[in-house]
Amino acid sequence: MKKETKTYRPNVAAIILSPKYPLTCELFIASRTDIKNAWQFPQGGIDKSETPKEALFRELKEEIGTNKVDIIAEYPEWISYDFPPQVVKKMYPYDGQIQKYFLVRLQEQREIDIDTEKPEFDAYKFVGVNDLFNHITYFKRPVYKQVLEYFKRKGYL
């Protein structure tokens, strides 16, 4: 029996600009511990009692060791994507995620620490916008492109 409707996990994602922004436009990406060479923006599920902004700050603290960021902009819509087959099994009962994206700037003198209680990343770096897609895992590219194009059109990137 085939499942008729897909189930999407509510999620937030952070496009983190370095503290050098707006003089230099560099984006934070990190490599997942559980999927080899899967670079992405920090993201995570929204708990039932949370707003997207509350989830954003909690997830950043859990994943990169700091939530000391300033929100610059928010993507106006929720965007969904499907997990690739090898991820669907791990994320059951979800077929994908529906995400709210935030563009944030890391505050000055804030230290990133990916060696958290439950590390999700084993490496991170800041890359230029034009270099980003040389690193990002394939199944996230269409959504990232859509969101980044919006922030470019609005003059943030």
Cα angle value 114/137/26 (rounded, 5°): 60
> Does residue 129 contact residue 150 with C-beta atoms inside 8 Å?
no
pLDDT beyond 80 at 3: no
Share of the chain above pLDDT 90, in %: 83
Residue 84 lies in a domain: yes
User: Is 19 a member of any domain?
Assistant: yes
How many structural domains comprise the chain? 1
Could you tell me which residues are beta bridge partners of residue 11? 45, 99
CATH for 23: 3.90.79.10
Spatial distance between the Cα atoms of 115 and 128, rounded to a whole number of angstroms: 24
Residues 127 and 40 sit within 8 Å (Cβ to Cβ): no
Taking residue 33's Cβ as centre, other Cβ atoms within 10 Å add up to 14
pLDDT in tens, 20-76: 999 999 999 999 998 888 899 999 999 999 999 999 999 999 999 999 999 999 999
Confidence (pLDDT) at 14: 98
pLDDT digits (tens, 9 = 90+) for 89-101: 888 899 999 999 9
In a domain, 3, yes or no: no
H or E, element range at 72: strand 69-74
Q: Torsion angle of alpha carbons 136, 26, 50, 87, nearest 10°?
A: 10
Residue 106 inside a domain? The answer is yes
* SS3 assignment, position 4: coil
pLDDT at position 134 is: 95
Average pLDDT over residues 75-80: 97
Range of the domain at 82: 8-154
pLDDT at 2 over 80: no
Predicted confidence band of residue 127 (pLDDT cuts 50, 70, 90): very high
